[in-house]
Every structure is written in C-alpha cells, then in structure tokens.
Amino acid sequence: MDLLAQLNKLLAKTNIELSEKQKQQLVGYVELLAKWNNAYNLTSVRDPRQMLIRHIMDSIVVNDRLKGSTFIDVGTGPGLPGVPLAIVRPDSHFVLLDSLGKRIRFLKQVQHELGLNNIEPIQARVEEYQTDIGFDGVISRAFASLHDMLSWCHHLPNENGLFYALKGIVRDEELTELPSGFVVKSITELKVPELNEQRHLVILFAK
C-alpha cells in the first residue's frame, strides 16, 4: 500500500477531513523525514508507514483541541507535532524551536520543499528564547515532565495562552509536582488509529 492510500485509511478511522493538498504535504513530509533520517538520525522510527501512525496521526489528533492561531512547538525535534499541525492548520502560525542545528536545517528544507509559509524554524534553547507578544499555545511532546515544561516555558504564552503537553501515560506524581501558579485545565485520552499505546493531552494554564 502506498503512503497516500495508507494515510487515507488512517484518516477514515477519525473525524479529520483534509484536502488533497494537505494529504500530499503530509506524505511529502514523511518522505523527506525518511530520506534525511538515514544521514541525520532524526527519529528512531525508520519505516515510513509507521511514521504515518506514530508521527502524523499522533500529532494531528490534537488539532481540534487547540485554541488560537499562534503556537510554539518547543523541542520540536524533526518538527513534531508542529509540522503536521501546521499542515492541517494553514491559517495558524507555528514557531518550531530546537537547539540542534541539524534539525533546524531539515525543517528549513521541509519549509522550502512543501511550501509551508506558516512555520518558522528557530535554533535556540527554550530558556533563552524571548518573545514580545507571547503565543496562544505552547506545545510539546518532548519534555520528560510537566514540571520541566512549565519551568522552562513559563515566559512563552500570552495572557490567555495555554500549555499543551502531549504525553503517553500521565502519572499522578507529575500532576502533584507542578510549579506553583499553574493549573491543569483538562486531561484528554487520545485515540490514535492503529497505535496500541496510551496517549493523552494535558492542557494547563498559569493562574
């Protein structure tokens, strides 16, 4: 089965509707990721068909829970979940932040080849990155703990901005060890087609 056919099969198991252009961009991203992965070691997932499940679907299932139009994907790695979300949210703007140059070089190539005008790859450490206006959403699926995410990213949201943490299992101790001044808004179990692992979205805000 080719990648586009598999993507259509996965999408059919959700309520996500995409244009043909968006589907082609998602497949194009997977093809670039698989190609660059050989030299740059961007992800431990080697099979492009698994990338569709573990990277594409795993990212875009949170789309309908995002509020606003300006987002920062912190510790984006090869662009996850920022690139898939930028493709399915063409009217939103995504800063993709990572400290490793090879990942930012890859993301600039993705931006160029897929014509993604709504992503902005930036090489910087999160604690050193400054923003004047703040973001509607601070997104991450790379942080080890909610405590670290909030401690290092506390300066990034705007006045009404939210933190979106994509997690596997959410442990009780993580929720009790939040830095003071932060509150859990919701915890949602996510269903990713053909992925038999737990996935959750934790949404938080500053009091």
Specify binding-site residues for S-adenosyl-L-methionine: 75, 80, 126-127, 141
Which residue is associated with the tokens 């938080």?
Answer: 204
Binding annotation: 75, 80, 126-127, 141
- The secondary element (H helix, E strand) that includes residue 7 is helix 3-11
Strands (E), 8-80: 70-74
- Residue pair 43/33 in contact (Cβ under 8 Å)? The answer is yes
Q: Across the beta sheet with 182-189, what order do the strands follow?
A: 119-123, 93-98, 70-74, 135-140, 157-167, 200-206, 182-189
